[in-house]
């Protein structure tokens, strides 16, 4: 079995809606059926991607750009690897599985995320983790405005200090040995996150305008 791989053709200069390209939706479908899936009223998968492989539980997106919105939308199982950048709503409403982006993502990354593991090696746009309910979202690059806006529960793991938010409370520096368990889960993944081992973090709690039960953990040198 080989990962089901979507390679962007570069010929399409418009927003691509990738909601249907998840392990859950593609399970049991043939390559011909996948190529015929409509991404919009004018575009099918065949117009946008070359598709190879046969394991729909493991998806790989290659040569991607910020044109591609909603990658990993509502995914429940399996894994997605994005070898490039991604657009708005990456990992939005995730309910399980693992999504790794080797590049940067645009606005609303992890919006309304309910469960699962979302790892971004690059930067993220505004409203990252907005209304997030549960799960773990890691970011090695920089974050933008309105980080964790309306976030209910879940964990944001950052390697860089975020812009300070008025509705998040700084709880100071902590050494958290339980992070080793999280790092161990990264070891099996093809990602820079597998190199993390630092237990020292600055912890923020919020969004206190809502439930206030979410956390931001900023890794310390």
Residue spans per domain, the chain? 3-219
What are the pLDDT digits (tens) for 5-63?
999 998 788 999 999 999 999 999 999 999 999 999 899 999 999 999 999 999 999 99
| Confidence label for 164 from pLDDT (cuts 50, 70 and 90) | confident
Burial of 58 from C-beta contacts in 10 A (0-12 / 13-18 / 19+): middle
What are the pLDDT digits (tens) for 75-124?
999 999 999 999 999 999 999 999 999 999 999 999 999 999 999 999 99
In three-state form (DSSP H/G/I as H, E/B as E, the rest C), the secondary structure along the chain is CCEEEEEECCCCCCCEECCCCCHHHHCCCCHHHHHCCECCCCCEHHHHEEEECCEEEEEEEEEECCCEECCCCCCCCCEEEEEECECCCCCCCCEEEEEEECCCECCCCCCCCCEEEEEECCCCCCCCCCCCCCCEEEECCCCCCCCCCCCCCCEEEECCCCCCCCCCEEEEEEECCCHHHHHHHHCCCCCHHHHCCCCEEEEEEECCCCCCCEEEEEECC
172 φ/ψ angles, rounded to the nearest 5 degrees: 85, -170
Q: What is the structure's pLDDT at 190?
A: 97
| Confidence label for 221 from pLDDT (cuts 50, 70 and 90) | confident
């Amino acid at each position: 079995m080989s990962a089901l791989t979507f390679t962007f053709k570069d010929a399409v200069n418009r927003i691509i809606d990738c909601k249907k390209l998840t392990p859950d939706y593609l399970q049991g479908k043939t390559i011909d059926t996948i190529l015929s899936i409509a991404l919009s009223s004018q575009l099918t998968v065949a117009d946008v991607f070359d598709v190879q492989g046969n394991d729909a539980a493991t998806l790989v997106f290659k040569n991607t750009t910020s044109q591609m919105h909603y990658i990993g939308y509502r995914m429940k199982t399996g894994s997605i690897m994005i070898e490039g950048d991604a657009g708005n709503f990456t990992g939005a409403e995730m309910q399980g599985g693992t999504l790794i982006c080797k590049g940067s993502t645009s606005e609303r990354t992890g919006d309304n995320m309910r469960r699962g593991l979302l790892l971004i090696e690059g930067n993220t746009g505004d409203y990252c983790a907005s209304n997030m309910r549960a799960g773990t979202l890691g970011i090695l690059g920089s974050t933008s405005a309105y980080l964790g806006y309306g976030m209910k529960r879940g964990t944001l793991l950052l390697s860089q200090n975020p812009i300070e938010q008025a509705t998040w409370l700084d709880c100071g520096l902590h050494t958290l040995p339980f992070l080793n368990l999280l790092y161990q889960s990264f070891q099996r993944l093809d990602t820079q996150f597998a190199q993390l081992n630092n237990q020292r973090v600055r912890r923020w709690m919020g969004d206190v305008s809502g439930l206030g039960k979410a956390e931001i953990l900023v890794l310390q040198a």
